[in-house]
A and B are shown apart, each in its own frame.
Chain A
Amino acid sequence: MSGSTAAPEKPTRVDERLVRTSALRKLLGRPELGSVVGAAAVFLFFAIVADSFLQASSFGTVLYAASVLGIMAAPVALLMIGGEFDLSAGVMVTSSALISSMFSYQMTANVWVGVFVSLLATLAIGAFNGFMLTRTRLPSFIITLGTFLMLTGLNLGFTKLISGTVSTKAIGDMEGFESARTLFASTLTLGGVEFKVTILWWAALVAIATWILLRTRFGNWIFAVGGEADAARAVGVPVIRTKIGLYLGVAFAAWVSGQHLLFSYDVVQSGEGVGNELTYIIAAVIGGCLITGGYGSAIGSAVGAFIFGMTSKGIVYAEWNPDWFKFFLGAMLLLATLLNAWVRKRAEATS
């Protein structure tokens, strides 16, 4: 333990931080409260307008759509609380899948070897982001934009160079594929409804992220560097280590998503993933993360992903004219976020 948390002097009057608050007050102060209300509203809305939305099987589909997004949204939310962005996150998922597939194929190795190599390589990309950011002190927007463009080019260039085409070769007949598929892309049947294993990954990642954020020292550091990095450094928070750690978190989730992509479709298209980084950020913001950092939660990101999943699939269930799909999606998201902001303001006013 460093000396950063020296005992405070006895306060002459009761510090507002020490005032006992009721459970309700505590609940109202949570960053994800607004988004939970938003999610409930979206859920009710589609339950009324779309007949098939309430089917159990539809629930599995919506959860799958939310989980694929949510796996990435959780570490992205942590990164945003830490005051940084990662624009390379979407393409990194594709890179991770490509590395895994091509290494296994070219080396004729058991696919687990490729999966392991991909983990190291993806973490290296994350470390590169964090290292460049803390070394150069340039904004993360610039650093990760550079990584985003470089990865987009590398994905395409290497795939074409190695496989001769723009997608990877099928690795479905290679050893280890079935067991890897079980871990990353299997389907579980519960009460006749099929749930994708990504939902478990999502739940686990959100749980871990929440535990880190609320119960560990590292969690305190994240809030500190996101709120005011210089002040945090002054009181002994290892800013560099914290930020690199956050980028490693995003890289780890990108690896999980990438392996899911590879093992559910067997072939990876090298041009995929562009634009998804924005969706991750959107999910985190809907879930109550501030774009300026220092505030937010991992559970919020999960609720944000769930809202996104419900909206994008609810529109299909409601069978609305598909020409207007993007408009409906945008309008629903805006409404959910406005409701979120309004609830938070009310909560702050009453506390």
Chain B
Amino acid sequence: MARVRTGVRAMGAVLAVVLGASLAGCSSTGGKRAEERAAEAAEGRAAVNTPRWTFAMVTHSGDGDTFWDIVQKGAEQAAVKDNINFLYSHNDEANQQAQLVQTAIDKKVDGLIVSLAKPAAMKAVVAKAVKAGIPVVTVNSGSAESKEFGALTHIGQDESIAGEAVGDELNERGRKKALCVLHEQGNVGHEQRCAGAKKTFDGTMQNLYVDGTNMPDVTASIEAKLQSDKSIDAVVTLGAPFADAAVQAKRTAGSNAEINTFDLNAKVATGLQADQLGFAVDQQPYLQGYEAVDLLWLYRSNLNVLGGGRPVLTGPQIITADDAEALADYTKRGTR
């Protein structure tokens, strides 16, 4: 008992020190206090009086993925506006994702949104949903399979087209030798992006695989590559968090390469403004979530289908320093 009591007392002392320190050591710059109250796009009220339908979204996102967080935000805001009960689940294992879709079917949802990163594993379960009379919209990946599987519409970015846009942009900027940094080995979308860029780029482009869950390792790998080949004058990372790692690698390696990236976040927006980055390719994840919910609502309430059987593209949108300033606030809010 005595030991327990000293433990409690020690914890109390620690707590007191922590609270005291936090009161004494305030920062006059940055932090939550400086954060501006962001104006919410939707005011948290439904804009329609249709029945309260339930839509489920099942994606192949891993835990804590910035990109899918923005998709989810878009979907949630559309759900509020459309008076929808919105359910979200995700798993990066194809088999688990299929099981999650099955649970949504079991729940008899009124609409289903799925991403088809691993189409083969999803085929049977999507067919099951269609057969059960649940309208399906596919998002993000799977533009080629969407129609074949019986989905109403596909909303997303064609990865090859996005890659080609990068190649064109690099040409315009007079780049000769580029590096494509892939942070997930075996991700089909990533390969398509780099292949697309390689296709339209007039110079040479090499791939570099890095371990996406280990940031210092990403930096060191890019650093090593830039040191071993001084003629590389452009680096393209496939995710926003990796752009900053590339910027640091460039500095340490003493390279002159221009750093460009797919996707956008607050750090990328400020990087573009500070000229640390050349351009960012945004596929507007917010739109993928928002439109998916909204299109399902349109179908439910009015049998509308957008796209005429063809994918509705949300990107690529090339963002440079000029656009970054206007977008900075939205990236801080986590919706761009």
Contact = CB atoms under 8 A, between A and B. Distances in A.
Interface of A: 50-52, 55, 57-58, 60-62, 64-65, 68, 103-113, 116-117, 120, 152, 155-156, 159-160, 164-167, 169-176, 187, 194, 196, 198, 260-261, 264-267, 269-276, 279, 309, 312-313, 316-317, 319, 322-323, 325-326
Contact of B31 (A108, A198, A273): A108
A152 B63 CA distance: 9
A240 B27 CA distance: 41
Contacts of A159: 64
A200 B30 CA distance: 30
Interface in B216-238: 216-217, 219-221, 223-225, 227-229
B213 interface: yes
A109 B253 CA distance: 34
Nearest to A127: B7
A267 B254 CA distance: 23
B214 interface: yes
B213 A274 contact: yes
Interface string B1-28: 0000000000000100010011001111
Given A65-B217, A113-B21, A273-B214, 7 more contacts: A108-B31, A108-B33, A169-B32, A264-B219, A267-B266, A269-B66, A271-B62
Interface stretch (B98-106, B244-252, B290-298, B313-321): B244-252
Given A52-B227, A167-B265, A173 B216 contact: no
A65 B34 contact: no
B228 A52 contact: yes
Given A105-B32, A174-B31, A266-B267, A271 B216 contact: no
Given A64-B216, A175-B27, A58 B227 contact: yes
B65 interface: yes
Interface of B: 14, 18, 21-22, 25-35, 62-66, 69, 185, 206-209, 213-217, 219-221, 223-225, 227-229, 241, 244-245, 248, 252-254, 265-267, 270, 332, 334
A265 B240 CA distance: 12
A316 B253 contact: no
Mostly, the A contact residues are helix
Contact of B208 (A61, A62, A265, A322): A322
A276 B245 CA distance: 18
Contact of B25 (A109, A169, A171, A265): A109
A266 B254 CA distance: 21
A268 to B, nearest CB: 9
Given A61-B253, A166-B64, A174-B29, A261 B267 contact: no
A33 B227 CA distance: 31
Contact of A271 (B27, B213, B227, B334): B213
A316 B229 CA distance: 10
